[in-house]
A and B are shown apart, each in its own frame.
Chain A
């Protein structure tokens, strides 16, 4: 049922103008997807750091070198993980890759190294600073009596910055603003068989008149497409029967219908042919309510 998903949320679609002059459409990644990818990435960081600590702890190196390596690895992992992956994986980190997210330039240009670095260094203020304050690691704060207030402040701080993306339509966090990037969801769509391909010869069984084909518009056609493409799911037979019944009534079909599915496929082919021919003459009918 991928057929109508893209149209279902027009509010999240953005078009980038490619250098070739053809706009390409993207979906802005949802807040939940962003959060999920981030949690996965943090998990990977923690696992990597743990694995690293364990592995160097058992190598029998001197305590000094182990300590130095531990500090260095921790810093590199927390500060450079995102930037390094986004640079070498074209805007993806492991978490983003799993959720099919990707960082792109907001104006359609190539994603530059500067932008990647900028958006990820902002995490320092968005996340790591309040986390450090929370655990009393910064400025020796825990030593000063007012520790609890600082911790409360840190929690509010984290909330403000992590909810920031929910208050703008492109789901930008502060790092995205500073770098001029945004995060899109780019799942790979599969090309399914053309529904009109199988039945060209048998189409004469259902000779629709032009008046019958002028009842519906492109929207209804694509809903019908999504119904036909859902073959194999539960309730498919019921759905076909209901839809075929409805269409027959609406277009006043009087011929015999031995097979609902064949009827629907034939209607789809005829309807699409009619609408596409009219499109070639510049008449696009969006839906059945379109009276132009």
Chain B
């Protein structure tokens, strides 16, 4: 043929830049994007855009299937590197706790309020019902959780649980116990979030049920005049843990809401948007469960004085409140300028 193909000339002209991009991508995917030098990082977006333009041209002028496929693949891989998640795990974590998590919690304030209301409603219901008929305790609390405690227990044995230093079976296993509590509770919390996918009703029910259980316990202890001691035992870790439970249940309900009432958006789009926000809260709640597990498993077993226990409960409540209401707020325009 005397006239060479336009597509072949096009390829000869641009091939060097494709090869260069290919080498950069191989380096970035093998050793991470941080392995690229400053010059290479400068070249990356340029080469990416050049390849995208080559791809558009090739689609209109070339019938070389291998070339088209190569450019599709090259462009898509470059796209993923150029627009992919770039930040390291630690940066993400720091940003998460400093900004994302508290902001996401504030964004879900109505759901959190509803979740807390459900928990309290469950607690009041459980308390009233159990007070009227102590045998209802068994309807609300599973035997595994009651650990032999119940309406028929004596004041002495009830008190003993609250002030056991954990010397019997747990004496030398406090750290293990703490981690067991953490993994167990975090598992339930994540479940409350994830079942939100089924419409959010189950998430709400899990909150109400937790309330029922606590109410039933409180009623039993109240009959023996041990209310003060019970809350001293429960609240130091309970403030953190119940916050985490409420957060998980709340975002579970938010997820269900997105599914049932998507509003102006398409249903799946609403689910995807709310799901991302909700996951932030659920992940943060896992961190709260971790702290609560430490307090519950180690601190509570060591500290017997009700005064100290209440002080810790109060302090954790104040800290959490301050964190969720203050952390991650945008500085005012003036503050940023000054």
Interface residues of A (CB under 8 A from B): 2-7, 16, 18-20, 22, 24-26, 62-65, 67-72, 74-75, 79, 84, 87-88, 90-91, 102, 104, 106, 109-118, 121-122, 124-126, 128-129, 132, 138-140, 143, 174, 177-180, 184, 186-192, 194-197, 200, 203-204, 218, 221-222, 225-226, 229, 269-270, 272-273, 275-277, 279-280
Contacts and interface: CB of A to CB of B under 8 A. Distances in A.
B89 A273 contact: no
B208 interface: no
B271 A178 contact: yes
A71 B279 CA distance: 23
Given A75-B183, A143-B144, A200-B4, A18 B92 contact: no
Residue among A75, A178, A189, A195 facing the most chain B CB atoms (10 A cut-off):
A178
Interface in B172-193: 172-176, 178-180, 182-183, 186-187, 190-191, 193
Interface in B84-143: 84-85, 87-89, 92, 96, 100, 142-143
A125 B66 contact: no
B286 to A, nearest CB: 7
Contacts of B87: 113
Contacts of B176: 63-64, 67-68, 70-71
A191 B279 contact: no
Contacts of B246: none
B77 A121 contact: no
22 contacts: A6-B72, A62-B172, A64-B173, A67-B173, A91-B80, A106-B272, A110-B84, A112-B85, A112-B276, A113-B100, A122-B194, A124-B194, A140-B142, A177-B271, A180-B268, A188-B73, A190-B70, A191-B22, A196-B8, A204-B1, A229-B66, A272-B7
Contact of A174 (B64, B182, B197, B279): B197
A87 B89 contact: yes
A188 B77 contact: yes
B178 to A, nearest CB: 7
A280 B6 contact: yes
B56 to A, nearest CB: 5
B67 interface: yes
Nearest to A69: B179
Contacts of A196: 5, 8
A1 B276 CA distance: 41
Given A71-B180, A188-B73, A273-B5, 15 more contacts: A6-B72, A63-B172, A71-B179, A75-B182, A87-B85, A110-B84, A115-B272, A128-B187, A188-B77, A191-B19, A195-B64, A272-B63, A276-B7, A277-B6, A280-B61
B149 interface: no
Contacts, number: 238
B162 interface: no
B52 A177 contact: no
A6 B69 CA distance: 7
Q: Which 7 A-B pairs have the closest CB atoms?
A: A180-B272, A67-B176, A118-B279, A125-B194, A178-B275, A71-B179, A68-B175
B305 to A, nearest CB: 24
Contacts of A279: 60-61, 63
Interface in B283-326: 283, 286
A91 B180 CA distance: 31
Interface in B228-276: 255, 268-269, 271-273, 275-276
B81 interface: yes
A138 B206 CA distance: 14
A64 B85 contact: no
A112 B186 CA distance: 23
Contacts of A18: 52, 79, 83
A118 B254 CA distance: 13
B271 A276 contact: no
Given A125-B197, A139-B142, A279-B63, A118 B72 contact: no
A5 B100 CA distance: 43
A3 B72 CA distance: 13
A225 B65 contact: yes
B276 A180 contact: yes
A24 B79 contact: yes
Given A64-B172, A88-B88, A273-B5, A191 B66 contact: yes
A277 to B, nearest CB: 8
Contacts of A102: 80
Contacts of B65: 3-4, 6-7, 222, 225-226
Residue among A7, A114, A126 facing the most chain B CB atoms (10 A cut-off):
A114
Contacts of B73: 186-189
Residue among A112, A113, A221 facing the most chain B CB atoms (10 A cut-off):
A113
